[in-house]
Structure 1
Amino acid sequence: MQAFTTVSGQAIPFGAANIDTDVIIPARFLKTITRAGLGKGAFCVLRENSDNVFDRNAGAPILIAGDNFGCGSSREHAPWALGDLGIRAVISPGFADIFAGNAYKNGLLLVTLPQEAVDRLLEVANDGHPITIDLENQVVTTPFQDRFEFAMDPFRKQCLVSGQDEIGLTLGMSPAIAAHEARLSAERPWLAGAACRAD
Structure 2
Amino acid sequence: MDPLREVAGRAIPFGAKNVDTDVIIPAHWLKTVTREGLGRGAFETVRAQPGNVFDDPDFAGAPILIAGDNFGCGSSREHAAWALRDMGVRAVIAPSFSDIFAGNAFKNGILAVVLPQAEVDRLLEVARTDPVAIDLEHQVVSTPFQDRFGFEIDPFRKACLMDGLDEIGLTLARNEAIATYEQRRAHDMPWLAPSLTKTTEKAA
Give 1:87 deviation, angstroms: 0.8
**Does residue 113 in structure 1 map to residue 105 in structure 2?**
no
Q: Mapping of 1:52-91 within 5 angstroms? A: 52-56=52-56, 57-91=59-93
- Paired with 1:76 and 1:9, the residues of 2 have a C-alpha distance of 25
Give 1:176 deviation, angstroms: 2.1
In the alignment, what sits opposite 1:151?
A: 152
Q: TM-score, normalised by structure 2?
A: 0.89
Q: Which moved more, 1:166-175 or 1:89-98?
A: 166-175
In the alignment, what sits opposite 1:47?
A: 47
Counterpart amino acid of residue 93 in structure 1: P
Instruction: Calculate percent identity across the aligned residue pairs.
Output: 66
In the alignment, what sits opposite 1:167?
A: 168
Q: TM-score, normalised by structure 1?
A: 0.91
**Does residue 104 in structure 1 map to residue 112 in structure 2?**
no
Structure with the higher helix share, 1 or 2: 2
Q: Mapping of 1:125-144 within 5 angstroms? A: 125-126=127-128, 128-144=129-145
In the alignment, what sits opposite 1:92?
A: 94
* Structure 2 unaligned residues grouped into runs of 5+: 195-204
Give 1:194 deviation, angstroms: 8.1
Counterpart amino acid of residue 115 in structure 1: Q
* Structure 1 unaligned residues grouped into runs of 5+: none
Q: Which moved more, 1:166-175 or 1:91-100?
A: 166-175
- Paired with 1:15 and 1:49, the residues of 2 have a C-alpha distance of 16
Give 1:191 deviation, angstroms: 7.7
- Paired with 2:20 and 2:119, the residues of 1 have a C-alpha distance of 22
3-state SS of the aligned residue for 1:140? strand
**What's the CA shift string for 1:61-100, capped at 9, x where partnerless?**
1000000000000111001111111111000000001111
- Paired with 2:192 and 2:147, the residues of 1 have a C-alpha distance of 61
3-state SS of the aligned residue for 2:122? helix
In the alignment, what sits opposite 2:24?
A: 24
User: Which 4+ runs in 1 deviate beyond 2 A?
Assistant: 179-186, 190-195
**What's the CA shift string for 1:14-46, capped at 9, x where partnerless?**
111100000000001111010111111100111
Give 1:121 deviation, angstroms: 0.5
